[in-house]
Amino acid sequence: MYSILFQCVAFILAAAVTGQHVGMENTDNTGNSDTPVYNGEEIILPMCRNFLPYNWTKLPNQFGHDTQVEVYRHIEHQWAYMDYGCSNNFRQFVCSLYLPKYDPVTQTVAGPCKEMCSKARNRCKKTMRETRSRWPRIFRCNQLPSKRNDDVCLRPVRESRVELQHTYCVDNVIPMCISLNSLGSLPNFFLQRSLGEITTEMRFYEDLVSTNCNANLQFFLCGTYLPLCVPNITPFAIPCRELCDEIKRDCSTHFDFIYQGLPWPNKLQCHRYTPSNDTSRYCAMPGDF
C-alpha cells in the first residue's frame, strides 16, 4: 500500500488485452503436431505492462506463482517506489524478477542480473528507510546471475538523478487527456514526475475506456494521473470520491473481464479521493471547468 507519508508528500509537492498463450503449432489432419507449443503469456499487470523491453513472460515463476493475479498481489505494495522513481532500475528489477522475459522462439526465460538488483537497492534503500520500510529480504541480489558471466539475464538500465519538485503546472500532452484540459499538475497524485511514464501507464486503460462503461471514465483517469491545475487551488484538484464510486460501480466488471481477473487497481481505490463535501480540500467533477 502507498504509505501515509507518500500521500502527504504528494499534496505538497486495440482489442482487449487477453493474455492468451503464444502458439506456433503445425498440426496435420490427425491432430499430430510437429512443432512445440510455446506456453508464454502476455504481460497484463499495470505497473509492468508497456514499461519493460519485452511483452511476454512464462509462469509459474521462481516463486511458484501460477497466474499474474498472484504476482500482482505480491508486488502491488512496491508500486509506490516504482512511481516515486528512487531508481530507474527498481521497476525493471521487480517486474522481471516476478515476470521474467520469455522468448517464444528459443523458449528461454531470463530474469534480472545481479547488477540491476544492486543498482535498484543502492538507490532505493534510503527512500524505504524514510518511509519506515526496508529492502525486502526476498530481493537477494547476490543470488542472481551476473552480467559478466555467460548466464542469460537482463542488464541494468542507466540511472538518472531523482529530484522531488514542488507542484507546478505543465502543458497536457497525454493523448488520452489532451482534449479534456490544457494544463495538469506534476508531481501527480502518486508522485510520478515524468509525463512519458504517466502516458505509458495510462495506455493500460485504453481497452477499458473503449468499452464506454462510463462516460466520465476518461475525466476520472486523466484527473487522477494528471491532476487539474486550477488557479488559486493548492496543490491541485483531483476527481471527487463520488465520481470514483460511480466509475468503480460501472466499470469494475468490465475491468475484471478485460484484464483476466485482476483486482481493481490499488491506485484507484476510492478512499484515496476527497468527497465533495470536504471543505478543507477541493475536488473536481465533470463540468466544473
pLDDT in tens, 199-218: 999 999 999 999 999 999 99
Residue 6 above 70 pLDDT?
A: no
Mean pLDDT, range 180-184, rounded to an integer: 86
CATH number at residue 150: 1.10.2000.10
Check whether residue 8 and residue 149 sit in a common domain: yes
Check whether residue 193 and residue 104 sit in a common domain: no
pLDDT value at position 204?
Answer: 96
Let me know if residue 188 belongs to a domain. yes
Residue 10 above 50 pLDDT?
A: no
Let me know if residue 123 belongs to a domain. yes
Give the pLDDT confidence of 241-252 residue by residue, as tens digits. Answer: 999 999 999 999
Check whether residue 9 and residue 144 sit in a common domain: yes
User: What range does the domain containing 184 cover?
Assistant: 168-284
Residues 6+ apart with CB under 8 A from 280: none
**Residue that is last in its domain, among 154, 183, 213:** 154
pLDDT value at position 236?
Answer: 81
Check whether residue 182 and residue 132 sit in a common domain: no
Residue 29 above 70 pLDDT?
A: no
Burial group, residue 261, by CB count within 10 angstroms (0-12, 13-18, 19+) = middle
Check whether residue 206 and residue 261 sit in a common domain: yes
pTM of the complete model: 0.82
Check whether residue 122 and residue 16 sit in a common domain: yes
Residues 6+ apart with CB under 8 A from 215: none
Burial letters 209-227, b for 16+ CB under 10 A, else e: bebebbebbbbbbbbbbbb
Residue ranges of alpha helices (H) inside the chain are 4-12, 68-75, 79-84, 88-98, 114-130, 195-202, 206-209, 217-225, 241-258
Check whether residue 57 and residue 139 sit in a common domain: yes
Number of domains in the chain: 2
Give the pLDDT confidence of 232-289 residue by residue, as tens digits. Answer: 666 688 999 999 999 999 999 999 999 999 999 999 999 999 999 998 888 999 977 6
